Amino acid sequence: MSEGLIAKRKWWEWIETKKDRIFLTERAKKRYGEWFPAEGKVVKSGKEVLFPSGEEMYRYLWAGEEWKIEEREVSGEFSFLFLLPCEARAIIEVTDKVFLHLPVDKNYWLRRKALSLGILACLQPEPTCFCSLVGGGPFWRDEEALFLVPRKEDIYIQGEGELLAFSEEGGEKIKEEMQALQQEVENELPSPLPSYFPQELYHHFEDEEWNELSWRCLNCGACTFLCPTCYCFDIQVKMWGDEGYRFRCYDSCMYSEYTMMAGGHNPRPTTKEKFRNRFLHKLEFFYERYGRSLCTGCGRCIAACPNGISIARVIEELKEADPDA
């Protein structure tokens, strides 16, 4: 892995050659818009690129004698996605693990292998940010992805690929500068949760606390749809006479339909059960299976919640309820 500095003008030249093959998340655009003049397509998060809110899977048609099935081709044109560390973690540590775990989700894989990630360091955490609490950080990076720190006149880059050819050696000095910068941003953020926290949660399933925490929840899907890691989907079918198609779309654990069973029984009937499931899935169930938190601390759900529910605050209150933590 190599590193270096790219001057602003050179960076812009490179962007110019990529044009419509650049995706940019809303947050990256807000923070570093000047680095991405015009063309780039702005998305809510990586989820919108890799796992869109609606996607046709196959079409079918009665061809007189038999059913004809036509699979949907995913083009998977090579492109770049620039995003913040929390959003990158959502892809690399969460959705990749889920969709590329056997059996591999074909559409996701075709899009994913054509996508190159550029992680932009987060220099101004927002009031809703808490990435460090759940194991991430404003300078979180991954070997497979480019890591970038935009500065005044140039951009620090670490990783591999064609972009590195544009860079100049930064030397030891830049390493120190980066470390100091990282320290400075990290100081503003909360310290990580104790590692035993997820296991502890296991004992809190029946807590009275959940009634109070969940009471104001509206059971809307704003948090789940905007969350960069929520990956639940529903498969539905559309049919006219003897032709139609099957497609998938987002589903949310906040909806009654999500757990509704044939015959009308619903194992999660009220707000409390749905709410508890959402938070325990984020913090415990996913941890049990994949060894990491499903929440990357981006704070989108906190900003989006119409009734001011904050996952960071829920974590705080659960911690308080636990005398050992």
Partner 1 sequence: MFEQEIRRKAKELLEVKAVDLVIGYTSGSLPFQARPTLVSSPEDTEQLVWNHFCSPNLARYLLPYRDSSKKIALLAKGCDARAVVVLLREEQFPRERIHIIGLPCPGIISKRKLEEKLGEIKEEDFSWEESGFLCQGKKWEIDSFLEDTCVRCRYPNPPLWDDLIGEKRESRGSSVDYLERISSQSEEERWQFFTQELSRCIRCYACRNACPLCYCKECFAESDVPRWISGVPTLSDNSFFHLGRSIHLAGRCVECGACERACPEEIKIGLLPLKVEEIIKNSFSFEAGLSLEEEAPLLTYKENDPGEFIK
Partner 2 sequence: MKNDWEPKIVAFLCHWCSYAGADLAGISRIQYPPNIRVIRVPCSGAVNPLYILKALREGADGVLVSGCHPGDCHYLSGNYFARRKFFVLHELLQWLGIEKDRVQFSWVSASEGQKFSQVVEETVEKVKKLGPAQKLVKEFTFYV
* Length of the chain in terms of residues written: 325
Is 183 an interacting residue with respect to partner 1 (CB under 8 A)? no
Binders of partner 1 among 126-155, rule CB under 8 A? 127-128
Q: How many Cβ atoms are within 10 Å of 199's Cβ, its own excluded?
A: 12
> 169 or 240: whose CB is closer to partner 2?
240
User: Cβ contacts of residue 296 below 8 Å, gap of 6+?
Assistant: 86, 87, 89, 90, 93, 94, 131, 134, 136, 228, 229
Which span (26-34, 70-78, 270-278, 300-308) binds partner 2, by CB under 8 A?
Answer: 70-78
Q: How many Cβ atoms are within 10 Å of 97's Cβ, its own excluded?
A: 17
> 179 or 307: whose CB is closer to partner 1?
307
75 CB burial (10 A radius; 0-12, 13-18, 19+): exposed
Is 55 an interacting residue with respect to partner 2 (CB under 8 A)? yes
> 156 or 250: whose CB is closer to partner 2?
250
The listed partner (partner 1, partner 2, none) that binds 72, CB under 5 to 8 Å by sort, is: partner 2
- In angstroms, the Cα distances linking 279 to 51, 106, 218, 248, 257 are 22, 29, 15, 24, 19
Is 17 an interacting residue with respect to partner 2 (CB under 8 A)? no
Is 239 an interacting residue with respect to partner 2 (CB under 8 A)? no
Give the end-to-end CA distance of the chain in Å, rounded to a whole number.
Answer: 39
Interface contacts to partner 1, rule CB under 8 A: 53-54, 127-128, 212, 215-216, 218-222, 224-226, 234, 236, 238, 247, 249-252, 255-257, 271, 302-310, 312-313
For partner 2, the binding residues (CB under 8 A) are 52, 54-56, 72-75, 240, 247
